[in-house]
A = this chain, B = another copy of it.
């Protein structure tokens, strides 16, 4: 009654690696079971569908990232840095994502979409906390925090998602979030160092 749990973890591990290295669409269930050395039926004993596997793989990924974000939230960095830090916690994990996701977007649309949605669900409330803290401290000065935060995250997702963003994109992005939050001009300028790479 626990051998099953181990097998499931093993399958998630394999799926995770293959989805990242070859892309979701390019990884067939047959690929996964070949790698695991099991039969089709066994796979479907643990997952109702390939898509559900994806779902669980993503949740697993985001769990780690949520932890990181919460650590930053609990820290005592200045608000501006917290804000950016929490958002950045969810940036793809080094070489992991970047390998394939960036490249052949076509083959990863579903994965990408699911990540974006799940990420949004988790990230918005965390960033809202930071932003509200910022308002209390007088660093930001606006209402409708959740909506503003949502839009900031949308922008950060879409703009920095591809690899072809420019210096100017960064500059404008920073200016935009400063103005959206009614923060002191220049207070977010430090972000430029972090994003550029």
Contact = CB atoms under 8 A, between A and B. Distances in A.
Interface of A: 105-106, 109-110, 113, 144, 147-148, 150-151, 154-155, 158-159, 166, 168-169, 171-173, 175-176, 179-180
Nearest to A151: B155
A21 to B, nearest CB: 21
Contacts of A110: 106, 109
B154 A158 contact: yes
Nearest to A165: B147
Contact of A180 (B159, B169, B179): B179
A169 B154 CA distance: 13
Top-5 shortest CB links A-B? A147-B172, A179-B179, A154-B158, A109-B109, A144-B172
A105 B168 CA distance: 33
A151 B110 CA distance: 23
A53 B148 CA distance: 38
Contacts of A155: 151, 154-155
A151 B172 contact: yes
A150 B176 CA distance: 12
A147 B166 CA distance: 9
